[in-house]
Amino acid sequence: MDTKLLSKAYEFADVEDKWLRYWKENDLFRAGMEEGKASFSIVIPPPNVTGVLHVGHALNNTMQDVLTRYHRMCGDNTLWVPGTDHAGIATQNVVERHLAEEGKSRHDLGREKFIDKVWEWREEKGGTIINQLKKLGCSCDWSRERFTMDEGLSRAVREVFVRLYKEGLIYKGDYIVNWCPRCHTALSDDEVEHEETQGKLYHIRYPFADGSGHVVVATTRPETMLGDTGVAVHPEDERYTHLADVGIRLPLTNRVVPVVFDTHVQREFGTGALKVTPSHDRDDYEIGLRHSLELLKVIDDKGVMNEAAGIYAGLDRFECRRKIVADLEEQGFLEKIEDYRHAVGNCYRCKTVVEPTTSLQWFVAVKPLAAEAVAAVREERIRIYPRNWYNTFYSWMDNIRDWCISRQIWWGHRIPAWTCDGCGEMIVETRAPVVCPSCQSSRLTQDKDVLDTWFSSALWPFSTMGWPQDTKELAMFYPTSVLVTSFDILFFWVARMMMMGIHFMGEVPFRDVYLHALVRDKHGKKMSKSTGNVIDPLEVMEKYGTDAMRFTLIAFAAQGREIKLDEERIEGYRHFINKLWNAARFALMHVDEDSARQQTITAPAELALAHRWILSRTAATVKGVRRGLDEYHFNDVASANYQFIWHEFCDWYLEWIKAELFGGDEAGKKNGRRVLLVVLETILKLMHPITPFVTEEIWSVLPGERQPLMVSAFPEVQENWQDQEAEEKMSLLMGVITGIRNIRSENDVHPSATIDARVICPQKDKAAFISSFEATIADMTRLKSFQVMEEGDKPEDAATYIYNDIEIFVPLQGLVDIDAELEKLGRERKKIEAKLKQVSAKLANDKFLANAPAQVVAKETEKKQMLDANLGKIAEAETRLSNIAARK
């Protein structure tokens, strides 16, 4: 017996370090690749290389680790691919900020040197989040760590780009895009966040060119009128049919623009007349296309008015707005200004108001790819959990627009397209061409743009496994088993992986998608630095231990619910970890090498009741835990473990077997120790995926030769451990014990005071059974004596407890608190009467008797009998108490 490693309270810090080191040194996270085994694989949602572990990462990666450890223990070839994302704009912004501190901009360095700088930064700081994931216990195959900008992945990116281009699915076009004037780049639609903003709606008079009248247009952005090239009205709007041939003379600039008729215009909004600025508004752009309106750009890529804005050139767009409004006012064109709330698009990176602008960009024609992804989901080749995301997914995919993939930044995958300076030919190849294939000129210029970061992450499930080469990894681990991610990147990332995976691999990238919720603070608010409600997982791990945090996250992760994290709960689960620790310490005091040698339990039915019971409960728990893991019901896994370990194993089983362990006969002891050890081992295995550190530590000090816990076999449901009879018998005894304890407590009987108790049980065999456990019952309730009687005088001066058809009496020699007892009985009677009313009504109902299953009717009948009988017992008890009271 060696308990010296087990201190009285679990001290996690050293233990965690020790096992991290051990797992690493023994290379236990490396993916197994044995032929003939099932395989299980996950690719990590690559965190930004600039990232620092936040609680969302902690949740996401704990879930993946739970699944990974589970499947590894099940004996599958298990691969979890880790890595980071180069995060184009985010990373560029970070490095630019560093440069700014030195008073430099990226332009001072030039493109190449700047990129060198980014790589340098990545070498120094980029590993932060990876180290934090390691600390969290993530059992990724770290030898396979990937970075979206590394050589292999970049090759995959070029390959995909070129193939899509040659298939006609990538094209370059002048189109209106979301432009961030601060980041100086185009953004995809998904990178624009719309936020309700208090703004104003300006009503402006637009005079007819012939001076015969005017029309009023409403706009939130008056400065864009400088770029107006038309006014649109609805073709069926009778107010405006006469405008067909009337030109509009724009105020301030006096340009004359046509009136066009377009059904897109909402007649009810404002005056029903819409100013059209095709260069700075997506809708207007499309109206302009339909009616061949001129494109007139008046805002440059910094958000400043350009030369086309005439006297307003050089003004910032918002300054210009004020000036324009003032001028309109002064010249009498402004009809009115209303307060108006509307959505404004902001850059998801820097929150700058996005400027829609036309520019030459690269696009992916996603419709055909999206159709394939939708088909895969409809045919359940990909399953999404929880199910309620299907509708959202379909509606998004149905309305998908072409994906703008070019970004005017420097950090990222440079677009593999070259233009010949000689003949203007466009060359798209995976490798830089030496000469132009059409004119042989060697003066070729590569496109300056880089690709959207999500382009490379869309390839992640296969690029990380060596594609475009045919690798054994792809053969064994693609498609991956499950993608675990937060729902907010379903469209950014998940949908695009589906499209790319299906298109290039001919097979879905993952079988299951598990979408988890966002972690919020305990009030359900988003965590943010400005609100100050951020829970830092690293601090939490420091304070309560990594296992406690992991368990808490898993316990909170009910499907489809937001996760409201409360530090108090983490503390609560630390207590649970400690409970497990102490239970193990207790067990270790009793098990020995001999118990470890004979682990198989061949004949459970021959064991003593408590052992049969705990084995049966263990089997049930294994079943529940496995089911929860298989169906991604993480919270069920946590609570099945919690309930079983604390309230069954510790509260009942360990207490129950103490007598046997301390004083039983040798044969019984030996059997008991064996069961104790086997159950403890099972518990450790069940808990290991969630709380890897404490379980591995305990496991390592158990007697017997053993492999590390993380590579031992996950428990199977042992059919022969299931024992309905034992469970029923135990709950009977537990009921009796609880009854006696209740009486003690209600009557303020000090725990050290030994008392007597009697039980009257009308059923002979049941009475005999209870009687055979007199010693244990007395032990568990600190009784002097305990008797079971079939019949007999009920003691007068006693407190009573009714448990089903059993009556429990504790004679208290005048110490019964009569008032309290009467009150308790009264409460009890009320409950019974209420139930009786329900049951009687049911049984009096012919329809119930006719329609309900016989089983249900029988149950109700039995229930009624029991309730009737108990009502009688309560009445008797009340009479006895009243007699005592009267005598006093």
Partner RNA sequence: GGGCGGGUAGCUCAGUUGGGAGAGCAUCGGCCUUACAAGCCGAGGGUCACAGGUUCAAGCCCUGUUCCGCCCACCA
The binder of RNA chosen from 532, 853, 886, 888 (CB under 7 A): 853
Is 75 a residue that touches RNA (CB under 7 A)? no
β partners of residue 759: 788, 808
> Which residues from 761-800 bind RNA, rule CB under 7 A?
none
Q: Which of residues 4-23 bind RNA (CB under 7 A)?
A: 8-11
Q: Which helix (H) or strand (E) holds 330?
A: helix 317-330
Binds RNA by CB under 7 A, chosen from 274, 366, 515, 730: 274
C-beta of 438 vs 845, nearer to RNA: 845
| Least distance from RNA to the Cβ atom of residue 226, Å | 14
**Judged by CB under 7 A, which stretch of 119-127, 166-174, 266-274, 504-512 contacts RNA?**
266-274
- Which region, judged by CB under 7 A, interacts with RNA, from 113-121, 393-401, 440-448, 762-770? 393-401
CA atoms within 13 A on the CB side of 447: 24
Structure-block tokens of residue 15: 């233990």
- Least distance to RNA from the beta carbon of 820, Å? 10
Instruction: Please identify, among the stretches 64-72, 251-259, 535-543, 568-576, the one whose residues bind RNA according to the rule CB under 7 A.
Output: 568-576
Q: Which of 204, 250, 211, 244 is nearest to 229 (CA)?
A: 250
Q: How many C-beta atoms lie closer than 10 Å to residue 857's C-beta?
A: 16
By CB under 7 A, name the one of 381, 511, 564, 623 that touches RNA: 564
Provide, rounded to whole angstroms, the least separation between the CB of residue 340 and RNA: 7
Indicate whether 755 belongs to the interface with RNA (CB under 7 A): no
Considering beta carbons, is residue 267 or 323 the nearer one to RNA?
Answer: 267
Of positions 15, 138, 186, 217, contacts RNA by CB under 7 A: 217
Q: How far apart are CA 776 and CA 664, in angstroms?
A: 12
Query: Kind and range of the H or E element at 283?
Result: helix 282-290
478: CB partners within 8 A, 6+ apart: 41, 461, 462, 465, 505, 507, 509
| Residues in 437-496 that interact with RNA by CB under 7 A | 488
Nearer to RNA, 579 or 673 (CB): 579
User: Closest approach of Cβ 342 to RNA, in Å?
Assistant: 4
Q: Of the two residues 600 and 855, which places its CB atom closer to RNA in the complex? A: 855
Q: Which of residues 283-342 bind RNA (CB under 7 A)?
A: 283, 342
| Residue 206 is a binding residue for RNA (CB under 7 A) | no
Nearer to RNA, 281 or 300 (CB): 281
- The CA-atom distances, in angstroms, between 861 and each of 148, 288, 731 are 68, 78, 22
For residues 614 to 653, the per-residue mask of contacts with RNA, x marking binding by CB under 7 A and - elsewhere, is -------------------x-xx--x--xx--xx--xx--
The encoded tokens of residue 28 equal 């236990």
Name the minimum Å distance from CB 493 to RNA: 13
- Which position has the token pair 């030369």? 307
SS3 letters across 839-866: HHHHHCCHHHHHHCCHHHHHHHHHHHHH
Structure tokens at 488: 């907010």
Q: 60, 140 in Cβ contact below 8 A?
A: no
Contacts with RNA, 714-753, as mask; x by CB under 7 A: -----------------------xx--xx-xxx-x-xxx-
Position among 183, 450, 867, 881 found at the interface with RNA (CB under 7 A) = 867
Footprint of RNA on 517-546 (CB under 7 A): 522-524
Q: Using the 8-state DSSP alphabet, how is residue 353 labeled?
A: B
Tokens of 557: 């992760």
Q: Which amino acid is at 235?
A: P
The only residue of 273, 553, 591, 684 in contact with RNA, by rule CB under 7 A:
273
| DSSP label of 703 | S
259 sits near RNA (criterion: CB under 7 A)? no
317: left (phi over 0), alpha (psi -120 to 50) or beta: alpha
Q: Which of 574, 617, 674, 685 binds RNA (CB under 7 A)?
A: 574
Minimal distance in Å, beta carbon 685 to RNA? 19
Cβ(496)–Cβ(197) below 8 Å: no
Distance CA 808, CA 825 (A): 13
Residues 6 or more apart from 1 whose CB is under 8 A from it?
588, 589, 592
Q: Are strands 480-486 and 510-516 parallel, antiparallel or unpaired?
A: parallel
Q: Which of residues 396-435 bind RNA (CB under 7 A)?
A: 396, 399
Residue 529 or 847 having the CB closest to RNA: 847
